[in-house]
Every structure is written in C-alpha cells, then in structure tokens.
Structure 1
Amino acid sequence: MTSVDYRSLAGEILQGVGGEKNIVSVAHCATRLRLKLRDEAKANTAAVEKLSGVITVMKAGGQYQVVIGDNVPTVYAELGKMTKLTEDAGVDDEPVSKGNLLSRFIDLISSIFSPVIWPLAAAGLLKAFLSLATQIGLLDPASQTNVILAATADALFYFLPLFLAVTAARRFKANQFTSMAIAGALVYPSIVALAAQPGPVNFAGIPVVMMNYSGSVIPIIVAIWLQCYLERFLSRALPSAIRNFTTPLLTLLVMVPLVLITVGPITTYVAQGLSTGISTAFTVAPWLAGAIMGGFWQVFVLFGLHWGFLPGMLNEIATEGHSLLFGPLLPAVLAQAAATLAVAFRTRNKARRAVAGPAALSGFLAGITEPGIYGVNLPLKRPFYFGIAGGVVGGAVVAAGGSGATSFVFPSLLGLPAFTTVGNVFLLLVGTGAAVAIGFGLTFFFGPREVESVAAPDAGDSVPETDLVSAPTMTGTVQVLAPVTGRVVALKDVQDKVFASGAMGKGLGIIPVDGRIYSPITGTIKAAMKTGHAFGIKSDNGVEVLVHIGIDTVQMQGRGFEAKAARGQRVQVGDLLAVVDLETVAEAGYDITTLVMVTNTAQLASVNPVTEGTLANGDAVISVQF
C-alpha cells in the first residue's frame, strides 16, 4: 500500500484549491475536509482528485469537500501547521477520557502537561548538570554565572502555573490570556511574600490562609476549569456592547480571590494534617511513616500538599540537626526516576524514549522528577504506580533505619551525602537500592510496550494503554453487526455520492427506528467526532468500521447528538456509542440514514454487506473474510 506524506498532501490540497487566500474556512468530519471557498473557479478539482491520499472531491451545501477517509484529522492538523485556517474550528475530534475517576484525572493532567514536556525535560536536565558542576567544583555556587544559569533552569518550574494556565485554557476552552493573568496573580511576588509572612491575611474581611503557589499544579488547573464555566455564563448573561472587556474583568475579580480563599486553606489544612500525622507515626511506627512518605511523596507533590511538610522539615533541621521526614524522600524520588529509565529501555516509541532518557537523568542526578512523571510515568500509568511501589518499600526500610537528611537538598544521587550521617547507612542504601530495583524491574517487565505509531508526548494527546500493543493478525471470517434497528438501504441508494460510490469502502445504510447507536464490533475507537455523529472503530483483527449517523449531520455541530464513547476507548460489540434525537435531526432537514462502512475493504479478501430487509440491533449485516 502506497505511503502518503500527509504534510505534502495538505500543501498540495491548499495549492489546488487556490491557496489560503481563497479559503473562507475549513473544518472536517469523519472522512472529508469541508472547505468554503471564496471562488470555486480558482480550484483545480481534477488536480486535487489525482492527489495520492485523496479519494474524490464533491461539492455540496456550499462546501468544497475533499474526501480523504480515516486520515482526514492528520491532513487537517497539517493544514493547521501551515495556515491559520483551522484555529478554533471547533469540529475536529479530540480525545475525551473515559474510565474510572482516577484514570480520567491522570489523562487530564497528562494532556495538559504534554505541550510543555520537552521544555520541562530540558530545564530538568540543565538543573542536573548545574548541580553536578557545583558538586565537583567546576562552577562556584556563589558566582553570578551560576545565578543566571540557575534562573534559566528554575524559571519554568517556579512559574509552572503560568505555563499550565495556557495548556489548561486550551483544554477547557477558556480565554488563555485571562488564564495567564490568574496564574500570574498566584505567583506574583507580593502574594508569595504574603504566604511567607507569619501574620494573618484577609481579603475584604475574609480570612485567607496563604500558600506558595509557585511550582504548583492542581490549583491552577482547578482555577481554569472553573474559569471556563464562569466565562460561558458571563458570555450569555452580559450585553454584547460590554461583553468583550467585562467578561475578563469579572472573571479576574472572581477567580483570583476565590482560589486564594478556597484552594489555599483546603490544601494547607490537608497538608498540615498529613504532616502532623506522619510526624507522629515516626515515633510510633517509623517503618509505616516511611512507607507512606516514600510511596506517596510524588502524589503529595502532584496535589501541592508537599508545601505543608516543608516547615516541619526545616524546623527539624534547625532544632535537631536533621529531619527524619526527609529520609524516605530519597527512595521515593529515585524509584520514579528508575521507572522512567525502564520506559526508556522498554518502549519502542522513539519520541517517548527521547523524553524518558533525559528525564531519568535529571531525576537521578538532581531529584527533578516532573519531566519523568508528567511526560512518561503518569501518561502510561503503570510506571507511576510501580514507582510508588518502590517508594513504599524503600521508604519503609530507610525509615526503619532512622535515616534522615542534615540539610535541605533535592533527594538525588548528588544529594546523597546529606543522608549518610544520620541513622543506619546500610539500610539507607539497601532501601534506596530496593526502591530503584522495584521501580525499574516492574516497569521493565510489566510496563506498557509502546509501538512506533503512538503519538509523540508533545502532540497534546494522552496515549491510551489500549493503543500500546500491536493488534494481532488473524484469518477467517468476522461478522459486523447492525448498530441500530431499522430498514436497510443499499449503499448505491444512499443520498451521499461519496458513500454511494463505494469510495469509502463497502457497507450499507440503515434508516433507524430509534436513536440508540451501538458498537457493531469489538475493538478500539480510533476516531470519535466530538459532535457525536461518527465513530471509527478498529477490531482486534484489523477490520476498520465507520459508523456515520445521518448524512451531512456534521453541520448540526452536535445538536441532537450525545456521544457515549470516546477516542481511545475499548468497546465491546453492543456497547452504546451515542444517543441521537432523530426528530431533531429530521426537523433540521438532514437524512437520518446511518452508514456502516468497512473502510479498509481493499485490504480484505471479501466484504459482503446485506442489501435489503429490516434488521434488529445486533443482527449480522456485513460478512468480512480475510
């Protein structure tokens, strides 16, 4: 099968339709680019149809439609890179996380971090090299050169809320500049100073429990999530004459105080409670306290709860000369770094390996785990869990030996001397070694093995674990079932020239009698339009099926459609894909015929759809032979 260069294809299509200046707008549905041209006479339709990767071109509803098939999102994305046409088009498909609450939370955090992973990895590596340079005497820690380089390495971590404000705003569809203003207020020098002062703080008479938001993650993500709903409400409620400046004004006035008044106290009180409880446990059951600190320290960091431990640690160092709370952090950090290193060895995906290598190095040398956690371990889930397991065991052993730190350092190999003068050094090394071995070993032998086709971590998509293995090749016959009850329409009679021509593959239409659409096969959803009108599913044995609800229903922009499944989700035959209000679709003037197409027909031995009759949901409608 001929390989298609989709970037070149996007450029050739752009040239073929008369260039960017001849395009009013561009969107895409499940199979085709939909362009509105200023002058269709400038488009060379014959030339566009001959392009490798283009199935056909059709003109309908005032649109110039370039039919590409399943890879249309790729071409659309490439158009976005070379033009400004696709910005905020609003109809492209995007992953919507499903599964349990923890999985959805992890996928959300991972997708928000994805665009900043490479700078984060670079900054972490720079911190590691600076730490090494000062340790071996190549760089004077008090020199101005070190100050400048340290600022270069630390800035991204310190102002992390500003970066996350942008990516979270894109994810939640909020105004990203308002989001940056909210984040900027949280790390504003005077706000940081308020968090450091011992006296009470209030806002309009309301007590405010301050915390340091620099480097934090969850507070700004929660703030932007709330911002998107507030902006939508204000956009509907405010008069258009004042909406443009009043919406950001009111959003800032509400969100910044709200975050300071609510997130600060909640985070601080929870963190203080954890700190007090764990400190008490060190006197009763040190191994248990160490297991908790070693296992969950990275989770505390994720939620910003680690700030509650720092005063206690610093006070212990000042009064006792060492901090036992600090001891289990060494195995906690190195276990996550080891899990990241195992991914670098195990994964077959070059882009993931390119992040994992330097991220592991910054974790081991400088104790900077953010690049590894957010770019590698957390998106893949299991390496993060295995790192926690290593931290639990290592933390318990280290705490049982009474190990601690005599100075406030990043837990790392370069910071190891600060841990060797308190407690049992042998148990410190054994516990840390066990944490590293567990984190690395479990990830290497049981972690997900990605393949080359997995999207790069900076592509902005969280990678589902179901995509991490190659589908097996099988032979035999597969039955594609009816996704809905209704009357069959032979493909040649479907009121869409592209589908009727068979250009998208063999299949059939069904005029549904109800609006519940089910999966016709067992497999993984590879494409899901967020408008809810189309789903592309690939079975375990390689059959690619498109379920397209209605003709030209992308124009409804989701009205009347409720998606019940999302891209990346594993579905069984008969699982609910969508619920459609058929009356709404019909009243809008659109054909409700639902298409069931085998889009990779050309790669299969035979594809035989039924051509007439009345079907019940779950009846066999297409017989596929390999």
Structure 2
Amino acid sequence: MSSTTQRSTAEGIVAEIGGPGNIVSLTHCATRLRFELNDSGLVDQKAVEAIPGVMGAVPQSGDRFQVVIGGAVQNTFNQIMNLPEMASIGKSALSDADVKAGARGKARGKVAWVDGFFEYLSDSFRPLLGVLLGASLIIAFTAVLDALHIVDFRATDKSATWIFVDAMWRSVFYFLPIMVAYNAAKKLNIDPWVGATVMGAMMTPEFVSLSDTKRFADTVCTTNPVLGTQSCVAHIFGLPMQLNGYGGQVFVPLIMVAVLALVYKGLKKIFPENIQMVFVPFFSMTIMIPATAFLIGPMGIWLGNGLGTGMAWMNGHAPILFAIIIPLIYPFLVPLGLHWPLNALMLINIQTLGYDFIQGPMGAWNFACFGATAGVLFISMRDKETEMRGTATGALLAGLLGGISEPSLYGIHLRFKRIYPRMLVGCLVGGLITGIFGGVKTSAFAFTSLLTIPVFSPMPLYAISIAAAFVTAMVLVIISDYRTPEQKAESLANRKQAESDLALEVAQAGMPKDVPTAASTPTAVIAAPVAGHVVSLDEVEDKVFASRALGEGVGIQPTDGRVVSPVAGLLVTVPASGHAFGIKTDDRVEVLVHIGIDTVRLQGKCFEVAVKKGQRVAIGDLLATVDLEGIREAGYDPTTVVVVINSKTLSSVTPKTGSNVIPGDPIIDVTP
C-alpha cells in the first residue's frame, strides 16, 4: 500500500468515525484499530467499510469501535496518529492490552466472574500471538527440511548449526511460563516483573539440578506409566517437594499469579508507600517462590495433566466425535476470545505427551474459514465489487500464509450471516475425514496455515481434510452467495451509482471550465427537523460541534419534541439511545441530527424512536418523539444539532441562522 493510499485511508477513517473530536483513545492489535469514542452514534459504519484498505468495521458495546485493517494495521495506526488534526489527541497513555482489558470490562455479562476468568486467560496469552506465530513458522521450515530428508531434526547427533535453529523456536515454548506470568500479573495490576521472577525461579539451572539423583541422594524419581513422564521428589528444609519440568507449562503461572495478586496487594496495604518498592517485592518473592515450588506448581501440573489425559481419552475412545466437535465449536469460540483455554491444552499436551491431537481437527475449522473467504473473493471478482475484493484478498492471504482468522471473521463472516452455516458444513466435512481415518497429531504448536502443513502427521490425511474443508465452504458460498437478496440488490445499486458518478466525472472533465454544470448550483436543501430557533454552531455548548470537527451545520433550540427527517435518504445510524440519526441522501450528502448535548448518557430515557437503521425516509417523516422537559430536568441541554458530516468533500455548505423555523423550513444549503 502506497503512502498516499495509507494517508487517504487514515483520513477517511477519522472522518467517518466522527472526526478527531470524537476520539477518546486509539490503539491497535494484530489486525484491528481499536477506538474508544465519545459517541459511537456518530459513526457511519458503511462509509468506514467502503474506505480503501479497510477490511471491515465492528461496533462494540458502549462507545467502542473496531476497524479491521489486517497486516497493514501498524502503518495505518501511525498514519492516523501523524495526521495534523490528531495532534491535539495524542497517543493513548494506556497500552493496547490495557485498553482492551478496560473495554472488555465495560461489556461484562450477567456472570461477572465468568467474564473475568476468560479475560484473564485471553489477556495472558494474547500479547504472545506474534512470537508464537514466529516460532510456528520456524518449526514449519524445519519440518519441510525434515520431510525432504535434508536434515533429520529428530536425530540425537545434529550439528551445532541445527541445534542453534532448535533454540530459535524452543526459546518461545520453554520460557512461555515466564511470559505468561508477566502478562497475567500485568492483567491483575501487580508488578509483572515479580510474576516473571517467581516463575523464573522454577526454571533456573539450580532448581533443575535438584532432580539429579546422583548429586542428591535423597531425591527420588518415578515414571508415570500412562503419560511416560518422570516425576522427582526432593527434600527441602526437611519437607518433600515434587520436582517438575516447568518449561512450556501454562496453568502453573496462571494459578500462581492469581495467588500472587492477593499476596502482593495485601502487602501493599501493610507497608507504607515510601518503602513498598523494597519490601513488597521481597516478601512476595519469599512467600510465593516456596508456595509455587511446594504447592502451586505440582497442582498446576496435575491439573494440566488431568485435562490433557481427559481430552486424550476422548480422542482415543471417540475419535470421530472428537474430530467433529473441535472444528465445529471453534467458529464460536474465536470471536469471543474463548479459544485460549484450548490453546493452553495444546501446549500442555505437547509438554506431557510429546504431541498434540487438537490442532489437527482445528485445521479443518481454519481452512473452512479461509475457504468461505475464497468464495467471497470469487463472487466479488465476478461481480466487480472492488471494495470486497480487496477485503477478501487481504483476509485470505493472512489466513493461508499466517493462519490468522481474524481478518476473515471480523472483516467478512460476522458481517454476512449467511456465511457461517456454509462454513460449518466445511468444518464438518474436514473434521469427519480426520476422525474416520484415525486423527492427526503434531509435536509442535503451530498456526494452521499452508506453511505449517508439514508439521502434522500423517501429513497426507491432514492435507486432504483441510483441502476438503476449504473447497466445501468455498463452493457452498459461491453457489448460494454470501449476501441476502436485499444486500445483493444494495450492492448492485451502489456499484451502478459509482459507475454513474464516474461517467459524470468523465463527462464533466471534458467540458470547458467556464461552462456551468448542473452541479454548480445548490442541489440540496436541508430542512429543519424540529421547530425552534436556529443558531450558529458557535453558540452550541459542545466543543466538538462548535469546532466543526464533525462538519458544518446549525443548532436549533427546540420548542417542540417532534423530530422529523430533514432530508430524504437512507438511515445509516440509529443508536438504541435514540439521541442521534445519521441519514445519507441519494446525492451522498451525509446528515447527522443530534438531539441534545451529551444526551447519550440518558440511555434512551426521554426518547421514543419511530424508525430503524436501514429504513428509507422522506423529508418530514417522524424520527423520534422527545420529552424536552425530561431532558432539561435531567440537567441536559436539548439543543438539536444538524451537521453535514462530509462537509469537506462538498463544494459548499451554507447555514441559515437567526430565524425561527418549523419542520420543513430550509436551514442549510448544500452544493455537492
């Protein structure tokens, strides 16, 4: 993507989410821009999705909004933050993980502890996505060399060079407990370095050496006959301590940090603030390192082994059922972030069993997901849908090469509900093939992409199952389309309108400059939506509107609670709160009617909405009935603001202020 395109993408995103004045904070993850807004009702979702470079837009609860970019998210984020109009906003002082954690906290369900549990798991693993993906690609590279018989990576006499290559990817998985402990501690608002240090103590050469029976005569080791793992017991301070290899473990740091948080916060209440820096970490370490070594570590190992053994039992006794269930539940777990516990079990399996049996069936889901995206790409190319073609292309590449499903899910699948049933059929077909022929295993944690196929065994079975899942989902989407008849008709109309606009531009470009065109005179008049006195935006008690960050317009001090449409067009924004309405005319003039100042805080009280999003309205159609006295009694200003959101793209927007109006009277002249 060129810098010019990135800049236009950045400018377009800022404009369509309500301007810089509507942005509270901005951060990003691997594929998405994450906005915290003053008022999500000001966002034009369809306009955002139509911006080149945007794969999709995802409204969140509250005033949060996500824009799916894909692999170019970092560049787009930088472009947005470097825009002159963003200078006064600045980058959020919070990290991405902090913003996401806070956002999820606002969206808790009825059972808060359940939400908190899954947030804890997700935020402990999510920041590691990049290094896990990097390690999985190194593993894939080594697996390809092994499959081609160039190097035997399972040999015990490998050269130093290839031992070093092993170290490149094993570093991630061996030290994973320390990384998880750091993230988990950060999630629970305690010093993350204390969490990392406690876990690190279990992985030092000194701790590992305690299992040396030749050196320590009172250390006794036994072998688990089921898992084939060795367990040793040493005597420390006269007490028996079970010794385990903690490399690659995830449940131990998760449990340890949960306990550490109680200890750490309790110590902060005991010690004065001026000595906390010394004594809180000191006592936290002296309490938690022994507690982890004697109790938490063995308990975490037992829990992980138990879950892994249970999953292995199901896979061994009902392999077909297991291979079907895994790909069918993943499409529902991933959007909610609930797939991380299964990912943790994969790591446990590799650590305890030496292999994992979950990732193979999971590949059926991933490739069914990518196949559905390929179907969307085919249709968009056939129907000349430029925007969707770009979205689907980026999402498909991210999936096939990186094993990342988010661009497909958020950019396409969750926007078009017809896709999921067809994708699930692909999941079923791939899982069924995997189960019938005995399942697929892998000895490495790998993102399921084309590049990591060689790490699965048997490789031919895995390749056939994911190919079947991919093709099934793709063909079903192509045959039945991913859009409803209404969405298809709207897409066709938008394309014809774009072609008509292009033809008009070409025709006008050939005219002499001194020849007036129909577009050189005002072609749109915005009428008053409510009776009252019209004032300039300078007199509106809202800095965002007064600064015209959201566009040129007027304020109306209302005398009646009946609010009607000021233009004819399509309702693109109708928030549940009923305080704002976004309307796009057939001439592509975008009008926002915002009833009252900060009235979003009323959460719908005093507003009776008469329309719904996607409905077409004519001038004078009732939008809402408003209790003006109720708004005033609640302490809010009922001034109704009418602005033209896309003022900067129009030739002129001329407000008419200073008069008393009734609904239907002209208040703004617009020249496209």
Match of 1:491 in 2: 537
Deviations 1:249-285 (A, max 9, x none): 67766699597588666655444444434433x2xxx
Match of 1:133 among 130, 145, 160: 145
| Aligned-partner SS, 1:508 | strand
Match of 1:360 in 2: 400
Matched, 1:394 2:406: no
For residue 291 of structure 1, report the CA deviation from its aligned partner: 1.7
- Residues 133 and 353 from structure 1, CA distance in 2 versus in 1: closer, same or farther, beyond 3 angstroms? farther
For residue 90 of structure 1, report the CA deviation from its aligned partner: 9.7
- Residues 478 and 287 from structure 1, CA distance in 2 versus in 1: closer, same or farther, beyond 3 angstroms? farther
Matched, 1:292 2:284: no
Q: Which amino acid aligns with 2:248?
A: S
8 Å CA contact retained: 1:507, 1:598: no
How far apart in 2 are the matches of 1:388 and 1:183?
40
- Residues 230 and 397 from structure 1, CA distance in 2 versus in 1: closer, same or farther, beyond 3 angstroms? same
| Aligned-partner SS, 1:304 | helix
Match of 1:146 in 2: 162
- Residues 397 and 5 from structure 1, CA distance in 2 versus in 1: closer, same or farther, beyond 3 angstroms? closer
Q: CA RMSD for the aligned pairs?
A: 7.3
8 Å CA contact retained: 1:106, 1:378: no
How far apart in 2 are the matches of 1:614 and 1:201?
88
Match of 2:472 in 1: 438
Q: Which amino acid aligns with 1:132?
A: V
Deviations 1:343-376 (A, max 9, x none): 58949697996786476346xxxxxx5xx25676
Match of 1:88 in 2: 93
| Aligned-partner SS, 1:241 | helix
- Residues 376 and 308 from structure 1, CA distance in 2 versus in 1: closer, same or farther, beyond 3 angstroms? same
Alignment coverage as a number of residue pairs: 484
Q: Which amino acid aligns with 1:437?
A: V
Unmatched 5+ residue regions in structure 1?
10-27, 34-70, 318-324, 363-368, 450-468, 513-520, 527-534, 554-559, 565-570
Show the 5 A alignment for 1:347-496: 357=397, 360-361=400-401, 369=403, 372-373=404-405, 390-401=426-437, 403-404=438-439, 413-414=453-454, 418=458, 431-438=465-472, 441=475, 491-494=537-540
- Residues 606 and 131 from structure 1, CA distance in 2 versus in 1: closer, same or farther, beyond 3 angstroms? same
Unmatched 5+ residue regions in structure 2?
12-19, 26-75, 212-226, 378-386, 484-490, 499-522, 560-569, 605-611, 614-622
How far apart in 2 are the matches of 1:418 and 1:236?
56
Deviations 1:564-586 (A, max 9, x none): 9xxxxxx968899xxx9999999
| Aligned-partner SS, 1:506 | strand
How far apart in 1 are the matches of 2:465 and 2:6?
52
Tell which deviates more after alignment, 199-208 or 500-509. 199-208
8 Å CA contact retained: 1:124, 1:359: no
Match of 1:336 in 2: 366
Deviations 1:469-492 (A, max 9, x none): 99968998999989xx99997634
Q: Which amino acid aligns with 2:555?
A: L
Deviations 1:497-520 (A, max 9, x none): 8854757521427799xxxxxxxx
Match of 2:273 among 217, 240, 245: 240
**TM (normalized to structure 1)?**
0.50
How far apart in 2 are the matches of 1:172 and 1:480?
51
How far apart in 1 are the matches of 2:87 and 2:315?
54
Deviations 1:573-601 (A, max 9, x none): 8899xxx9999999xxxx99896754433
Match of 2:171 in 1: 155
Q: Which amino acid aligns with 1:155?
A: S
8 Å CA contact retained: 2:553, 2:668: no
Matched, 1:30 2:27: no
For residue 132 of structure 1, report the CA deviation from its aligned partner: 0.9
How far apart in 1 are the matches of 2:664 and 2:252?
50
Q: Which amino acid aligns with 2:274?
A: A
For residue 155 of structure 1, report the CA deviation from its aligned partner: 3.0
8 Å CA contact retained: 1:491, 1:509: no
For residue 399 of structure 1, report the CA deviation from its aligned partner: 2.7
How far apart in 2 are the matches of 1:237 and 1:614?
66
Match of 1:508 in 2: 555
| Aligned-partner SS, 1:138 | coil
- Residues 446 and 131 from structure 1, CA distance in 2 versus in 1: closer, same or farther, beyond 3 angstroms? farther
How far apart in 2 are the matches of 1:477 and 1:448?
38
Matched, 1:279 2:316: yes
- Residues 359 and 433 from structure 1, CA distance in 2 versus in 1: closer, same or farther, beyond 3 angstroms? closer
8 Å CA contact retained: 2:571, 2:584: yes
How far apart in 1 are the matches of 2:311 and 2:660?
66
| Aligned-partner SS, 1:88 | coil
Deviations 1:279-316 (A, max 9, x none): 33x2xxx53243235545894864523366569966xx
| Aligned-partner SS, 2:555 | strand
| Aligned-partner SS, 1:147 | helix
- Residues 329 and 603 from structure 1, CA distance in 2 versus in 1: closer, same or farther, beyond 3 angstroms? closer
- Residues 31 and 396 from structure 1, CA distance in 2 versus in 1: closer, same or farther, beyond 3 angstroms? closer
Percent same amino acid at aligned positions? 16
- Residues 510 and 201 from structure 1, CA distance in 2 versus in 1: closer, same or farther, beyond 3 angstroms? farther
Match of 2:248 in 1: 214
| Aligned-partner SS, 1:414 | helix
8 Å CA contact retained: 2:584, 2:591: no
For residue 159 of structure 1, report the CA deviation from its aligned partner: 4.0
For residue 30 of structure 1, report the CA deviation from its aligned partner: 3.2
How far apart in 2 are the matches of 1:433 and 1:505?
54
Q: Which amino acid aligns with 1:600?
A: N
8 Å CA contact retained: 1:289, 1:396: no
- Residues 356 and 32 from structure 1, CA distance in 2 versus in 1: closer, same or farther, beyond 3 angstroms? closer
How far apart in 2 are the matches of 1:6 and 1:400?
51
For residue 396 of structure 1, report the CA deviation from its aligned partner: 2.5
**TM (normalized to structure 2)?**
0.47
